[in-house]
Amino acid sequence: MEILRRKKTESACRKRLIDYVSALPVILFCLIFATATNPGLSRASESLMTKEMQLLGAAASNDAAGIGATLAGGADIETRDSQGRTALLVATHHNAIEAARALIDAGADVNAKDNISDSPYLYAGAEGRLEILRLTLANGADLGSVNRYGGTALIPAAHHGHVETVRELLQTGIDIDHVNNLGWTALLEAIILGNGSHTYIEIVRLLIEAGADLNLADGEGISPLAHATSQNYTEIASLLRQAGAR
């Protein structure tokens, strides 16, 4: 019975170590218990924790060689930090292109979401991480996935003024007229949350050329043209009228 109890305890510890960063108190308890019952397990657990931490650190510092070494040493490529971010999402946050490439080449999930529903693909699109976005698009990015606001990657890209990112996404099969939880499309966000500058004029032009529905109103029935007119974005309003907006 004592042997069976120890095996069950060791098995539970191994399972919990997979999510060691977000469940540190549990892991520390397991390690303390394992030290008393099986010092060899404790040493193995500490070694695994070090590898996972090294992987996340290598991702943040754009250390592709370090990523290769930690993965070869047995690190879990889909390990998570305390915010639920995988190493690939950490690399994306830091715009660590070589690290992202190494992780994707090794099979990292480009659609794995963190605690706030960001994935490497969605975050790259929203924040204009163009090279990483291209890597995710070439490796299984889910164009229909949405962020915590219910928006596809295209909507925050338009909102944040990432012209080249918008251009890249419009070359895919992404839904150009997807409506988020606020009742806004990419076109509406570019107008409502933009500032009418050349950047947003260009994004509106790209959306028009790609076939966006120019008369798809927001949740209150206000059209893109009405928003542009009310904010005195004369060039955007002119583009919309010329394209047939009402």
In a domain, 186, yes or no: yes
124-152 pLDDT, tens digit each: 999 999 999 999 999 999 999 999 999 99
In a domain, 175, yes or no: yes
Q: Which single residue is written with the structure tokens 């099979």? A: 107
**Per-residue confidence at 49, pLDDT binned at 50, 70, 90?**
low
60-73 pLDDT, tens digit each: 999 999 999 999 99
Answer with the residue of higher pLDDT: 241 or 6: 241
In a domain, 206, yes or no: yes
User: What's the full length of the chain, in residues?
Assistant: 246
Q: Is the pLDDT of residue 199 over 50?
A: yes
Single-letter amino acid code for the residue at 37:
T
In order of 15, 104, 212, the CA distances from 137 in angstroms are 32, 11, 21
In a domain, 199, yes or no: yes
Residue 182 confidence (pLDDT): 97
Q: Is the pLDDT of residue 101 over 50?
A: yes
Residue 50 confidence (pLDDT): 86
In a domain, 103, yes or no: no
In a domain, 196, yes or no: yes
**Per-residue confidence at 75, pLDDT binned at 50, 70, 90?**
very high
In a domain, 90, yes or no: no
Q: Which single residue is written with the structure tokens 């998570």? A: 80
Is-above-0.85 flag for pTM? Answer: no
Count of domains forming the chain: 1
Residue 240 confidence (pLDDT): 98
- Helix ranges (H only) for the chain are 2-17, 24-37, 39-60, 64-72, 87-93, 97-105, 120-127, 130-137, 154-159, 163-169, 186-192, 198-209, 224-230, 234-242
Residue 10 confidence (pLDDT): 44
CATH number at residue 197: 1.25.40.20
Range of the domain at 173: 151-246
